[in-house]
Amino acid sequence: MKFYSTRGKDTVNSAAEAIVKGLSSDGGLFVPETFPDFSDKLENMLSMEYYERANYILSAFMPEYGDELKVKCKAAYDKFENSEPAPVVKVDDNFYITELFHGPTLAFKDVALTLLPFLLKKGSTVCGIKEDILVLVATSGDTGKAALEGFKNADGNKIMVFYPTGGVSDMQKLQMSTQEGENVNVVSVVGNFDDCQSTVKKIFSDEKFAEDLKKKGYRLSSANSINFGRLAPQITYYFSSYCDLVSSGEISMGDKVDFVVPTGNFGNILAGYYAKKMGLPIDKLVCASNRNNVLTEFFASGKYDKNREFYKTTSPSMDILISSNLERLVFEVSDRNCDLTAKRMEELKNTGVYEVSKTELNKMAETFYADFADEEECKETIAEVFDENGYLMDPHTAVAVSVYKKYKSYTGSNKPVVVLSTASPYKFGQAVSEALFGKKIKDAFIAAEKISEQSAVPIPENILSLKNKPIRFNKSIDKADAEDEVLNFINK
């Protein structure tokens, strides 16, 4: 299958090549030539285990990966609790939560990043690439740790993660700063996530820098959701959630379901859009934002405007003003007009603003509904759902549940709704404990202990073990020094 750049000047002949390149040479994002139709294949998936569903879906995009893909899917998802990356929990009538935090780093990014090292390595072999791969990652919290864990000590790969100074939770910072592995590096960047993301994109577009790396035996790739290899595995949990609801008798095959997705960079919800294009009976995709609600305004008005105040919130993985994956959606609703997409992305770069047509806005409204929750609403939701349903959630999930309640009130919909829960509450223990108990606890481990005492939900071992791990990475840099840091890393 061919993959095209959203900006029209780069085409590759396979998913393997798109995955290895990560970002297209014109700065655009790779999209598949076509979306395979699974509408008549859902019955086949009901009896499958999760790894089999993943292989079934991914093989349609990646035939060049062959039978080995199924083996690697099983190996990746055996790293999850009970080998189940996406269990569906019933919270109330027609209200379900798909828990995506049972992997090695307790966040939904594990679903893709346990598999991506194989996709990159095999992709390099398929493409005849002899250089080692240097993976660069910008993170607002969870992607960084999941990528580091996935790539640690992986042959032929080095990985370097940039995160915003002061822009992640204490537990997220600890997870990254104590990371094990001989091929990993972590630095914080003065600024916010958008600064980190723009820094990585700038490095990717620097042809001279790429040549310098090649002389040293490296080529760049990405583990962010701008890479199709990060995005594609996320499609599976939409299909899997639906199949589990059918198998358990909660819905009948063909019934339409709404998904509510907490999102910042738009990759998580875009995977749902792709699932719908592939025939999954999704009615609405509800885009849930925090106080940084640039996406809410975009879906209401058609105008994307990043020129606004940036807020640091208790849901830091959503503290984003430039939602990179939105480019893929804009490309699709413009009838794949690459010239128009390129023009809009140039406008975003130069002015911070672009706008879609009324026709395109109406087309998006057929699938998307968007709203946001502020900090107080988030806290109230954590407390209310725990009190009423006995369910413990992190702030990102609380944003989604708060928006779900608004959506239900506004639309009067009684369709089954699945909220995607993106992280363990223990990664954000201080925020969760404040919501539950009404006071701030400075120490993240003490906060976790109090939550566990009150909820009887065990603290994951991956959190407890951080307490005694040595800090390996504590360097902070200006974004202008990022290329030098990359070169220092590969020269070690």
Block mean pLDDT (10 aa), the chain, length 492: 96 96 92 97 98 98 98 97 97 97 96 95 93 91 90 91 93 95 96 91 89 91 91 98 98 98 95 98 98 97 97 93 96 98 97 98 98 98 97 98 96 94 96 95 95 96 94 95 93 81
CA 19 to chain centre: 16
CA distance 17 to 227: 11
Tell me the two tokens of residue 260.
């509510």
Yes or no: say if 235 and 274 are a contact pair by the CB < 8 Å rule. Answer: yes
Residues 162 and 189: beta-carbon distance below 8 Å: yes
Residues 6+ apart with CB under 8 A from 352: 305, 306, 307
Decide: 242 and 253 in contact? Cβ < 8 Å: no
Q: How far is it, in rounded angstroms, from Cα 101 to Cα 83?
A: 12
> Tokens in use for 171?
């537990």
CB 404 within 8 A of CB 260: yes
CATH number at 236 reads 3.40.50.1100
Residue 202 within a domain: no
Burial class (CB in 10 A: 0-12, 13-18, 19+), 409: exposed
pTM given for the model:
0.94
User: How many CB atoms lie under 10 A from the CB of residue 99?
Assistant: 22
Asked if the structure places residue 219 within a domain, the reply is: no
Q: What whole-number distance in Å separates Cα of residue 299 and Cα of residue 369?
A: 7
Is 131 part of a structural domain of the chain? no
Closest listed residue to residue 67, CA positions, set 52, 45, 82, 48: 52
- Looking at the 3D structure of the chain, how many domains does it have? 1
Quick one: which of 141, 178, 176 has its CA closest to 160?
176
Encoded tokens for 81: 């609790």
What is the SS3 string spanning 148-198?
Answer: HHHHCCCCCEEEEEEEECCCCCHHHHHHHHCCCCCCEEEEEECCCHHHHHH
pLDDT at 159: 95
- Token readout for 297 is 């305004």
Contact of 483 with 162, CB cutoff 8 Å: no
| Interatomic CA distance for residues 184 and 148, integer angstroms | 7
Q: Is 405 a catalytic residue?
A: no
3-state DSSP assignment of residue 168: coil
* Lookup: tokens for 237: 């949990």
Residue with tokens 């749902």: 272
Phi, psi angles (nearest 5°) of residue 237: -70, -20
Q: For strands 257-262 and 282-289, give the pairing.
A: parallel
Single out the catalytic residue among 72, 109, 145, 408. 109
Token pair in block for residue 335: 């009838």
Residue 273 lies in a domain: yes
Domain extent for 273: 81-107+229-460
CB atoms within 10 A of CB 92: 12
The one-letter amino acid code at 66 reads G
Please give the C-alpha separations between residue 167 and each of 85, 110, 325, 357, 445, in angstroms, as whole numbers: 27, 20, 21, 34, 19
Could you tell me if residue 365 is inside a domain?
yes
pLDDT in the model for residue 45: 98
> Within its chain, how far is the Cα of 488 from the centroid?
28
Which ranges constitute the DSSP H helices of 35-113? 42-45, 50-61, 68-77, 110-113
CB neighbours of 405 closer than 8 A, spacing ≥ 6? 381
The Cα 227–Cα 252 span in angstroms is: 34
Q: Residue 168 — φ and ψ, nearest 5°?
A: -130, 165
Burial of 456 (0-12, 13-18, 19+ CB in 10 A): exposed
Question: In sequence order, what are the residues at sequence separation of 6 or more whose Cβ sits closer than 8 angstroms to the Cβ of residue 98?
Answer: 86, 87, 88, 89, 237, 241, 418, 419, 420, 421
Rounded Cα–Cα distance for residues 469 and 177 (Å):
9
- In a domain, residue 130? The reply is no
Quote the pLDDT of residue 136.
93
Would 118 be classed as within a structural domain?
no
Q: Report how far Cα 16 is from the mean position of its chain's Cα atoms.
A: 20
Is residue 81 within 8 A of residue 111, CB to CB? The reply is no
DSSP-based helix, strand, coil % in the chain, nearest 5: 50, 15, 35
Pull the structure tokens for residue 5: 């750049």
Is 26 inside any structural domain? no
